[in-house]
Structure 1
Amino acid sequence: MESGSDCCKTCHPDDNGRRVWLRRGLSAGAIALLAGIGCGPGVAEAALTQAQRDALTPDQIIEIMKKGNERFRSGRMKPQDFLAQKRASASGQYPAAVILSCIDSRAPAEIILDIGIGDTFNARVAGNVSNPDMLGSMEFACAVAGAKVILVMGHTACGAIKGAIDNVQLGNLTGLLESIKPAIEMTQYGGERTSKNAGFVDAVAQSNVRHTIDVVRSNSSILADLEKNGKLRIVGAMYDLNNGKVSFMS
């Protein structure tokens, strides 16, 4: 447990308790719960707590991510005390969501959604594809650790998508790109179907997000059942490298 002086540093007015991502979007019950959290001695609430996470619905968690992206785009991101978050989450973690995104260096999910340490499980792999290892990780995150949302996030100008379109052959990357190829076939597009056409690349990236979601639902009965019972939402999104917007897909 951190000292009282550390807590007071954590809960300075500008931060107003990084103890929850965003109070906006919370239910009345969750707001009442958070109203009693203060900066008394021995309190270190910099990271999401189990009570706070459990008070959120999947829809509220998605709304929190949307609001975070709005702050990122406006340049008005919340102050992040990463050391306080590290200290608060060291003894336990209660992430609200799993984010499966691409390895691309220009699309770091925690930054573009303005979230901090302990808020989300984050998985990154070229082309945001899913495999048995990824599914097992998601099953742990949701069925064991209690995450309520799986967000599969692709992005514009994705190099993995271009590689799949071009049938690139390169060691272990070859097999990874094979996972993307079904998305190429399912993409309806009237223009030039090549990696040189940015519009086609982005259309395939959207199809690939939907394909990955289908893979998750089809290959994990655990996650499919959680979603069916309303305990989990599996959603997709596209991140635009140019304007910074994360567009959630219905």
Structure 2
Amino acid sequence: MTNNSMMRHPMHLHGHYFRVVNQHGEYSPLKNVIDIMPMETDIIEFHANAEYGDWFFHCHILYHMMSGMGRIFTYNDSPPNPQIPEPGKALKKVYADDRRYYFSADIGLESNGSDGEMRLENTRNFAELEWWLGYNDESGYETEAHFGRYLDNMQFLSAYAGFDFRYHNAKEEEKNLFGQVNTQNKRAVACIGIIYVLPWFVESDLRLDHEGKLRLQFTREDIPLTSRLRLWGMWNTDFEYSIGSRYILTKYWSLSAHYDSDMGLGGGIALTY
């Protein structure tokens, strides 16, 4: 088993102890859970000697298991299990766990305005709503709504379609990095885009709207400085940028501060759900 993610995965096999095959030979450890570190490869072996041959194998971190890290180990030539008269239907029920949708939200209320995101997704599809709301016409407002799909098993690559609305009252007409006149003052467009997660979890977002305008955006969220202090930043080819920080108070609440090229400097509180 190779863990090609950046998270540890304590993998558990029901109904068996297994031997971790390593350099210790006959003295290799016997376990029923093995904690596989990021980028680590482990080999296990076990005696397939139970009466029936279907056993659940899963990550012991609950939300990992509910996101799809649970599969069935099956013996070759195992007799039918009388307690499972319809094995195909039962297997679909098990694997339906990773198709469940869950809701998340990140909402900030600061002295320079409010920004946030709400998201509904499962392991394949997502719908998200983002907003940036100032307290006056100069700060303006912007909102984006997207519907998308992950295109690879690692969720590094996704495609989306959606809408983008924006209004500002004090921006001079400018050109973006691609030489196109941007629409920072007023925009109401449909768009399509591709998101790819770069090394260091930098999210690159290339978007094209129905007026033919391109935007490339780079975002990095949740940069840990300490167990409670986080940084984040964003820049795009319309020359918009923002940087900020969070200090975690509780599971849901944080103190927040950030500087935004449109909304200026502000501080306040943030809700993470």
TM range (shorter): under 0.3
Larger Rg: 2
TM-score with structure 1 length normalisation?
A: 0.22
Which of structures 1 and 2 has the larger relative contact order (alpha carbons within 8 angstroms, sep 6+)? 1
TM-score with structure 2 length normalisation?
A: 0.21
